[in-house]
Amino acid sequence: MIELNSAIENKQFKLQHLEEKLKPLGYIIGGNWDYDHGYFDYKIDADEDKYLYLRVPFKAVDGEIDQKGVKVELGKPFLLNHDYKDDLDDNVMEYNSLMNQFAEPEQKDAPFPKEMVATGQSLIQELEATLLYFPQ
C-alpha cells in the first residue's frame, strides 16, 4: 500500500454527489463498505494474478452510508495491489460454494509496482479537479 497526499483528504461531500461525479470516471464503491465507512475503488490495471487499485476511503459524518443524503468525509487515498492465487478457493463453505468459488487474495497488500505510482498520482490530480470544483 502506498498512501498519496491529496487536497481531497478531510473534505466533506454528500455521498450522492460523489457517486454522480466519480462513477463516470470509473470509480465504484467497493464491496467492503459498512454503515459507517466505505471505499471508492478505481481499477488501474488487472491481469490474471493481480489487481491494482486507487482506493479512496470515506466515513459517514451524519448518518449511515445507506441513508439518503448522508454526508461523508474523504480519507487519504492509497494505491493497493491484490495478488491472487491461480486456482479456485480451497476454503469454500458448502452453503456459499456457488457464490464464492474464487480464491481469496494471496496477498491483500502486495507491493505496488513502482512504475505504476505515476499513474496513481495522475488519477489523484483528476480526482482533485473533479471534486474540488463542484457545488456541494
Please say whether the beta carbons of 14 and 70 come within 8 A. Answer: yes
Predicted TM-score of the model (pTM): 0.78
Pick the range with the lowest mean pLDDT from 6-20, 61-75, 86-100.
Answer: 86-100
> Domain 2-131 adopts which CATH fold?
TATA-Binding Protein (3.30.310)
| Each residue's pLDDT tens digit, 57-85 | 999 999 999 899 999 999 999 998 866 55
- Domain locations in the chain as residue ranges: 2-131
Rounded CA-CA distance 17/57 in Å is 15
| 31 pLDDT tier (thresholds 50, 70, 90) | confident
Please say whether the beta carbons of 53 and 80 come within 8 A. Answer: yes
Residue with cell 492509497: 78
- β-bridge pairing 37-46 and 105-110: unpaired
What's residue 102's pLDDT? 45
